[in-house]
Structure 1
Amino acid sequence: MERGGHPVYLNFKKIVSYPISSFALYPSFKKSKDKVQPTKMQRWFFMDDNEILESDASSAASSRSKKTLESSGEEREWTFKVVMNHDLLPNECLGISGSCASLGNWSLTKSVLLNHEEGTNDWSLTTNIPRDRQVYYRFFVCSIDPTTESKHVRRWETHLHPRSIPEMGDKAESDDIFGDVEGEEKIDRGWLTTESIVQLKFFNSPFALKQRMKSRLLYIKVTPMNLRIHTSDNVISPLEDSLSNDTRENGSEQAPYGFAEVCCYKYDDCDIKPQPQFGVPCAPNDVVVFHITVGDIDSVAYLVDLYTYSSKASMEEPPYHLGYHYILPNLLKRSEGKLEMPITCATKHRPLGTMRLDYLLIKPFTSHVLDMKLSFSRYWNKKWSGLDVGHRGSGTSFKTKEAVIRENTIASLKNAVAHGADMVEFDVQLSKDLVPVIYHDFHVYVSLRSKKTIDTHDLLELPMRELTLEQLKNLKVYHLVEGRTREPRNFDNDSMEEHQPFPTLADTLDAIDSHVGFNIEIKWSQQLIDGSMEMEQNVDRNLYLDCILDVVFSKANSRRIVFSCFDPDICAMLRFKQNLYPVMFLTLGQTSRYPLYNDPRCNSIEKAACHSRGMELLGIVAHTEDLLRDPTQVSLTRELGLIMFCWGDDNNSRETIQHLKNLGLHAIIYDKMEVLTSKETKESVFLVPSQASQKDFFKLQALERERRPTEDCIYVKENSEKILELDEDRRKISLSAATSFATLMDE
C-alpha cells in the first residue's frame, strides 16, 4: 500500500499490531553546537538560565540576521530520508515538521507528508530549505481524518534538541531512523487537535453472569462501529445487527475513522497497544481500559464482544463468542459516566447477565494552538533530585494553631519561596463563574453577620463552586475548620491583599518569582469506596480543565510547571489535551488515614505506576506513609522510567525528609519550609544559575555591542575578527561557568 497519500479506512477485522517503543525518560544529553532556540514559554523546563541570558543577549542580532538571510531567498534542495522500523497501521503514514516554511514552521496543519517506497521501510521527501541558516525538524506518525482532512499526530519524536541541518549544507544527506537521534530513542504519543478519545474502563468485578458461567475468565474486545453507513444510493442506513464484528461480512459498510487500543495495567504490560484478535482477559480484580481515538464521536458506536475459552479446549483452539452489547453514542452524554448493560448471548440472543463500565470522553483543548517545536511531557533532569516543595505554600494552616500565614495564599507561597522552596504546591479549582482560584477544600462556610463574632446559626456551609469570584472575595467566608469549631482564626497581616484567601491562578502566576516551579494540583471530586462522592460536580470535566489550561498557557511564560491530581482520568485528560507540561498522578496508596477511592488505580502505588506509564505521565506523587511501610516501591516505580514525588504529614520531619531524599525521591512536598529545610542557601535550585551567570551576561552584552557597529549591517568583513573573538569568549564562558547549560544537561 502506498502511504504517501491519504490513508485508507481502518479494517477492524484484521488488526495489525506494532511494538510500543521503550521510552527513555532519562535521556543522556550530549554537548551540541546545534541547539534549538525556543520561545520563552517553550524553553522553561530544561535550559540553564546561563544559556537563556546568552540567548537574550544576542537575540536582537540573530533576529535581524534571520530577516536578512530570509529576504535573500537563497534555498537549496534537500532530501529527507527516514527508516521506519516500527509497524504502521493501514491508515498511518509519516510526516515531517520543522523550522522553515517548506516544513510548516512547526505547525501541524502546515506539516508535510513523506512518500513511502513500496516494499521497504523507507520514507522520503525532497523539498527546498533555506541555505544560509540551520533548519530543525522532527518526524512524526500521522493519520488523516478522511471527513475533515485534519492531520492527527499518532506518535512523534520528542527529543529536547530536534534533528538539525547546518547552514550552507555542511551536513551530507543521510538516512535517519524514526525515533532515534544519535542513539537515543524517544517517541511519545501525540495530543488531541480535532479528534477525541473515548476510554471504556472495566474494573471492580464488572461482570454479573448466570451461576454456571461465574467462574469463567472473560476476554473483552471493543470495536468502533460506523453509524453513518452510505449505501449505493448514498442514503444513510441503520447499523446492521451482528453477532460479532469478527464474523460480519458486509461489503457496503465503511469502518469509522479511528483507532481502538487497550491498556491492561499489568506491571510488565502497561503500555497502550492494539487489541489482540479475541480481546484481552479481564479477571475480577483486573483493570482494563480501552483507549479509542475517533474523529466524530457522535457517529460512532462501540461493539463490546465477550469471548471465553472452553475448559476442554486445546491451546490451538480459538475461544468461542459468548456475548456482546452495543454502546450507542447517545449513552455517552457527558464527559464521564457509568453504564450498566445487558450481555446478549451470541448464539441464542438471550440475556446472559450484565456488565458495568465507566466511560471517559477527552476532547481537544482549542483555546491555544500547540505546535511541534518542543515537548516536556516526560522530561526531568537527573540533577533535579530531592527538591524541596512547599505544601500549599508554607503549609497547612488549620491542622494546628501554630501557623501564622494562611495556606494557599500568595503570602504563603512567597514565604516558602523566601526560605528556599524549589517549587510550591497548591490546589486549583473553579469558582461558579469558571475562574481558576487557589483553594483546597470543596466546601466553605459563609457568615451572615460580622466576622468578629460567629454564632451557631450565623454560618451556612456551601460548596465553593456555588460562589462566584466576586462573592468569594467580598463575603465573609470561613474555612471548614473555623466553621465547624465556631472559632475564627487570626493570622498575621490577615487584612493585607496577599494574605487573603482565594487568589486567582492568573494573579498567582504573576505574583510569584518566575524561577520558582509550580506543582498545580487540580481539585476534582471523586467517588469513595463506599459509593459516596466527595462532592457532586456540576461542571463538565473538559470545560473545567480547559478553563485552567487557558490561564496557564496565557500566563505561565517561562515558569516550570507540573500538573497533578488524585483523579486518574483528570491526569489522562491533561496529558492528551496538551503537549507541553508534564502531569503526575497523586495516589493514596494503602492507608488507614483517609477513605479509599472506588477507582483501584488510586489505591496502590503499583496500579498508579501502571496508569502513569500507560498514559505517558511524568510519574506519580506517592503517599509517604505507603513508602515508609514498603520502601521497595520506590525502585518499582523508577524501573518503569517514572519520576516520583511524595506527600503526606509524615514529611513534616527533618529526619524523614532526609530519609526520603536518600531513597532517591525526586521531590518532597512538606509544610513549614522555614523550619524544616536543610538548605544553607535559601534559594530555588532553578534560581541559582541565573545569578551565577550575571557577569557572563554583561560581558556578552558588551561583546554584542562591539559586534554591531550599525543596525543594518550584520556581517561585515572588517568585523570578522571580532566575531571570532566573540565566539571564543562564549566558548570560554561555557567552559568556566559552573552552572552552564552543558553542565546542567550532561549526564
Structure 2
Amino acid sequence: MQRWWFLEDNNSSANNASSAVKKTKPLKPPGDRKQKFRVLVTDELLKDETIAVTGSCEALGNWEAEHCVQMQQEEDSQNIWCLEIDLPDNIVVSYRYLICSIDPNSENVHVRRFETHITPRAIPVNSTPDMDSKIDTLGDIDGTIKLDKGWLTTETIIQFKFFDNPFLVKERIKNRLLHVKITPMNLRINAESQNMTSSHEDSLSNDTRENGTDHQAYAFTEVLSLRNSNASFEQQSQFGCPYHPDDFIVFNVTLNEPENVAYLVDLYTYSSRFKENEPPYHLGYHYILPNFLKKSEGILELPVTCASKHRPLGMMRIDYLKVTPLLPSKCSLERSYIRYWDKRWTGLDVGHRGSGTSFKTSEGNVIRENTIASLKKAVAHGADMVEFDVQLSKDLVPVIYHDFDIYVSLKRKTNLETNDMLELPMHELTLEQLKNLKVYHVVEGRNREPKFFDEDLDEHQPFPQLSDALDLIDPSCGFNIEIKWSQKLKDGKMESELHFDSNLYVDCILKVVLEKAGSRRIVFSCFDADICTMLRFKQNLYPVMFLTLGVTSRYPSYHDPRCNSIEMAVRNACATELLGIVAHTEDLLRDQTQVNLATEKGLIIFCWGDDNNCKDTIKHLKSLGIHAIIYDKMDIYSDKAVKESVFLVGARDSQAAILQQIGIENRLEHNNHHEFIDPKPTSVSNDTDCSTTAN
C-alpha cells in the first residue's frame, strides 16, 4: 500500500551532520562504495543559493535538511554540480536534489526548492563505475518536472501587500504610475566595517545601496503582481514593481533574523517629460523598523518622505503578514504531498460537515453537524472524504465547529424565554466549558427553538476535538480540514473579533495533525489567503487549497480581492504553489468555463455550496471534471454502488498488487534454484519484509 506519508522518528540522524567540515577523515567502513553525483542546473541560482543532495542513508543526511550534503560546481562547467561520496554497500540508496541557502551567521540550512516526486531517485545495489558519467537534471525525473518551494525550517517570511489603491500622494503626482521597491537592511552593527561618514542623502541613493551591499541583510526578496495571468514570484528589478490601479502586489521577504532587519520602501516614478530609455526618478521613501511588525499580521499607515527635499509627500497603506516556522519541525525531505493528486481521484464525494448541515433543514432524522456521529455516518455511506471546520477554544485546543458564536443556556427550562440564552464568541470558552455547558447553535439561540436533545450520546456532542476525529474516524476516509479564521468584509466589518495570534492559531492545529494523522489523506483549506500561505510554508506534507467565495449574491464579499473571484483565486494558488482551489458552485454554474481556468494551470478543483445538494447537479459537476464535490446527506445524494472510500479501494488494489509481485518474485527465485514450484497460491509469512517491493 502506497501511503501518503507516515511520521517517522529518525533519531539516528540527529547526531550526524554530513555537510559539516571534519578535521580528520573517518575510517571507511568495510564494504562501502564510492559514488559520484552529477546534476545539471538549468535555472540561474540567486546569490547565497547552492545545490545539495539528501537521501536515505547517514552519508546523505537521512533526509534531514540540516544534514544535506553540499555539492560543488565542476571546473569546466558552471551548470553542472557534482559530489563524490562513500555510500553504504548492499542497499538501494534513494536521494533527491535541492536548492538551499546557508545563513552566514547561524549556519542554518534553508530549503529554497526541492524535488518532490513521489518516488525519489535511486542508486541500485550493484551500481557500476560507468554510472559516474550519468548527469541528472535538477527537478526532472524521466521527463516529469517537480521542483517546489521548500518550507520554513528556522527562517521567517515577511509579506508586504499593496492593494485597494494604497497610495495617497500630492495632486501633481496622483495619476502617475508608481514603482515600489523593498530592500531588507541589516541593523546589526559591524564594528570592523562601521563607517559613519556617509551622508543620509547618499544612503538613499539607489547606486549607493547597490554598491554598499554590507548594509543589505541576508534575505531573499521576491515580488508578485496578481494583475498578470501567469503570476509568479520573481526577483524585483532595479526600480521595483509598478503598481497599477486595482492591482494586488505582494513582496515576499525570506530572512533568518527578522528582529535585526529593517525594510526600506522606495517609490519611483517617471517624469512628465521623460524620454525613451530614461530611468524613473526616486520619488520618496520610508523605513519599516522591526518593532512595527510585532504581531503576525497588521496594517501599516506610513508617511512618504520626498527623496530630494526630505519633506512629507503623502501616505501609503501596507498590509503585512509574518510567517514563522513551526518548531520543532516534524518535516523532512523524504516525501512531500504538497502538490500531489492521483489522476484516478476525480469526482470524489465529500461529506459536508460530516453527513450534512443540520440547522438549515427540518427534514427527517438529522444528525448534528460536525460531530463524530455525523462524520461516521458519512463514512458509512461511502464518503471519500469528509469536510469539517476547525477552530480553537480559549485554551488553544482545536475543536470541530462551524460558527464563530454560540448561545449558552443560563437556566435549564423546558420553555425557553428571552433571557435564558446568552450569545458568546466560541473562542471565549475553554474546552471544559464547551463540553459541560448547555450550548446551543446560533440558529437555535436566535429562534429559541432547540433542535437536538442528545446530551447523553457522546458521539453526538458538539465540539469534538480534532484529535478525537483523527483517532476515531476510519483512516481510509480522507479529511478536508477547513481552518476557520475571521476576515474583514468589504464594508470594513470583521466576521468575528478573534484575539488569537494567527501563527499560534495555525501551529496549534498543525501540531495535532502532524502527531495524529498517520497515513490518512488530508487536505487543508481556508477562505483566508494568508492562512493558506501559513499552512503552505509551515510544513511540506499536506496539500493546501484556497477556499473562494467568488461572484455571489448569497454572501457579503471580503475585503481581500483574492477570494472574490475564481480568476484571482487561481492566480494566487499558482503563485503560492497550493494544490488548488475550492470554488463556490454558484459561481461555477454561472460561468462553467471557469473550471478550465484552474485545470489548465494544473490545479485541483473542489466545489462547495447549497447547489450541490441535488443528484443531477452532482452528476453534472463530475462531468465538468471537478475533482471533488462537497455536499450534504451522503446517504441520499450519493450514487455509489459500493459504499466505500476510493482510498480504501485503492489501498486494497495496491496491497493485492504487492502480494502478487511477491508471489512472482518467489516463483522466479525458486526457478533460478531449480526447485519445484507448488501450483497453489504463495502465502506470505508474517516475517516477510515487503518494504523494498512496496517502494
TM-score by length of 1: 0.84
**TM-aligned CA deviation for residue 695 of structure 1:** 6.6
Q: Which 10-residue stretch deviates more, 137-146 or 226-235?
A: 226-235
Partner of 2:685 in structure 1?
none
Q: Is the 8 A contact 2:393 2:428 kept in 1?
A: yes
Give CA deviations for 1:287-326 in whole Å, capped at 9, x if unaligned: 0000000110001111111111234323311111111111
Q: Does 1:528 align with 2:499?
A: no
Q: Secondary structure at the match of 2:480?
A: strand
Q: Does 1:463 align with 2:425?
A: yes
Q: Is the 8 A contact 2:153 2:329 kept in 1?
A: no
Give CA deviations for 1:171-207 in whole Å, capped at 9, x if unaligned: 7221111111111111101100010000000000111
How far apart are the structure 2 equivalents of 1:701 and 1:164? 21
Partner of 1:735 in structure 2?
none
Q: Secondary structure at the match of 2:43?
A: coil
Partner of 2:6 in structure 1?
40
Q: Does 1:429 align with 2:391?
A: yes
Q: Secondary structure at the match of 2:54?
A: strand
Q: Is the 8 A contact 1:99 1:105 kept in 2?
A: yes
Amino acid at match of 1:427: D
Q: Does 1:95 align with 2:57?
A: no
Partner of 1:17 in structure 2?
none
Amino acid at match of 2:518: N
| From 63, 87, 99, the counterpart of 1:129 | 87
How far apart are the structure 2 equivalents of 1:228 and 1:658? 61
Q: Secondary structure at the match of 1:168?
A: coil
Q: Secondary structure at the match of 2:394?
A: coil
Q: Secondary structure at the match of 1:88?
A: coil
Q: Secondary structure at the match of 1:394?
A: coil
Partner of 1:405 in structure 2?
367
Partner of 1:332 in structure 2?
293
Amino acid at match of 2:95: Y
Q: Which 10-residue stretch deviates more, 310-319 or 694-703?
A: 694-703
Partner of 2:107 in structure 1?
149
Partner of 2:42 in structure 1?
85
Partner of 1:673 in structure 2?
634
Amino acid at match of 1:472: L
Q: Is the 8 A contact 1:423 1:516 kept in 2?
A: yes
| From 586, 601, 624, the counterpart of 2:585 | 624
For residues 612-691 of structure 1, the aligned pairs below 5 Å read 612-691=573-652
**TM-aligned CA deviation for residue 217 of structure 1:** 1.1
Give CA deviations for 1:500-557 in whole Å, capped at 9, x if unaligned: 0000000000110000000000000000111111111211111111100100000000
Give CA deviations for 1:547-579 in whole Å, capped at 9, x if unaligned: 001000000000000000000000001000000
Q: Is the 8 A contact 1:231 1:237 kept in 2?
A: no
**Structure 1: gaps spanning 5 or more residues:** 1-34, 43-70, 708-716, 731-740
Partner of 2:687 in structure 1?
none
Q: Is the 8 A contact 2:4 2:337 kept in 1?
A: no
Partner of 1:209 in structure 2?
169
Q: Secondary structure at the match of 1:102?
A: helix
**Aligned length in residues:** 662
Q: Is the 8 A contact 1:228 1:236 kept in 2?
A: no
Cα 1:601/1:137, change in 2 over 3 Å: same
How far apart are the structure 1 equivalents of 2:592 and 2:474? 35
Give CA deviations for 1:234-267 in whole Å, capped at 9, x if unaligned: 7999996732444447758342110010111134
Partner of 1:230 in structure 2?
190
How far apart are the structure 1 equivalents of 2:654 and 2:326? 38
How far apart are the structure 2 equivalents of 1:652 and 1:163? 45
How far apart are the structure 2 equivalents of 1:151 and 1:144? 5
For residues 227-626 of structure 1, the aligned pairs below 5 Å read 227-232=187-192, 242-248=203-209, 251=212, 253-402=214-363, 404-450=366-412, 452-490=414-452, 495-626=456-587
Q: Which 10-residue stretch deviates more, 446-455 or 382-391?
A: 446-455
How far apart are the structure 2 equivalents of 1:625 and 1:104? 49
Give CA deviations for 1:620-653 in whole Å, capped at 9, x if unaligned: 0000111111111110111221111000111111
How far apart are the structure 2 equivalents of 1:652 and 1:120? 58
**Structure 2: gaps spanning 5 or more residues:** 9-27, 683-691
Q: Secondary structure at the match of 2:418?
A: coil
Q: Secondary structure at the match of 2:65?
A: coil
Q: Secondary structure at the match of 1:601?
A: helix
Cα 1:549/1:239, change in 2 over 3 Å: farther
| From 189, 196, 211, the counterpart of 2:149 | 189
**TM-aligned CA deviation for residue 377 of structure 1:** 0.4
How far apart are the structure 1 equivalents of 2:436 and 2:674? 62
How far apart are the structure 2 equivalents of 1:665 and 1:551? 30
Q: Secondary structure at the match of 2:336?
A: coil
Cα 1:350/1:269, change in 2 over 3 Å: farther
Q: Secondary structure at the match of 1:457?
A: helix
How far apart are the structure 2 equivalents of 1:167 and 1:625? 55
How far apart are the structure 1 equivalents of 2:375 and 2:164? 40
How far apart are the structure 1 equivalents of 2:586 and 2:90? 58
Q: Is the 8 A contact 1:646 1:668 kept in 2?
A: yes
How far apart are the structure 2 equivalents of 1:627 and 1:548? 31
Cα 1:615/1:702, change in 2 over 3 Å: closer
For residues 16-31 of structure 1, the aligned pairs below 5 Å read none
Q: Is the 8 A contact 2:372 2:469 kept in 1?
A: yes
How far apart are the structure 2 equivalents of 1:579 and 1:720? 44
How far apart are the structure 2 equivalents of 1:166 and 1:236? 60
Cα 1:390/1:130, change in 2 over 3 Å: same
Q: Secondary structure at the match of 1:644?
A: strand
Cα 1:621/1:694, change in 2 over 3 Å: closer
Amino acid at match of 2:148: D
Cα 1:239/1:678, change in 2 over 3 Å: farther
How far apart are the structure 1 equivalents of 2:597 and 2:676? 51
Q: Is the 8 A contact 2:389 2:483 kept in 1?
A: yes
How far apart are the structure 1 equivalents of 2:616 and 2:60? 54
Q: Secondary structure at the match of 1:570?
A: helix
Cα 1:244/1:454, change in 2 over 3 Å: farther
How far apart are the structure 1 equivalents of 2:214 and 2:663? 70
Cα 1:506/1:574, change in 2 over 3 Å: same
Q: Secondary structure at the match of 2:568?
A: helix
**TM-aligned CA deviation for residue 355 of structure 1:** 0.6
How far apart are the structure 2 equivalents of 1:653 and 1:41? 39
How far apart are the structure 2 equivalents of 1:537 and 1:573? 17
What's the RMSD between the two structures over aligned residues?
3.0
Q: Percent sequence identity over matched residues? A: 58
Relative contact order: is structure 1 or structure 2 higher (C-alpha 8 Å, sep ≥ 6)?
1
Partner of 1:62 in structure 2?
none
Amino acid at match of 2:384: D
Q: Does 1:105 align with 2:62?
A: yes
How far apart are the structure 2 equivalents of 1:651 and 1:488? 27
Cα 1:698/1:158, change in 2 over 3 Å: closer
How far apart are the structure 2 equivalents of 1:146 and 1:175? 30
**TM-aligned CA deviation for residue 680 of structure 1:** 1.2
Amino acid at match of 1:264: S
Q: Which 10-residue stretch deviates more, 275-284 or 195-204?
A: 275-284
Amino acid at match of 1:76: R
Cα 1:496/1:611, change in 2 over 3 Å: same
Amino acid at match of 1:137: Y
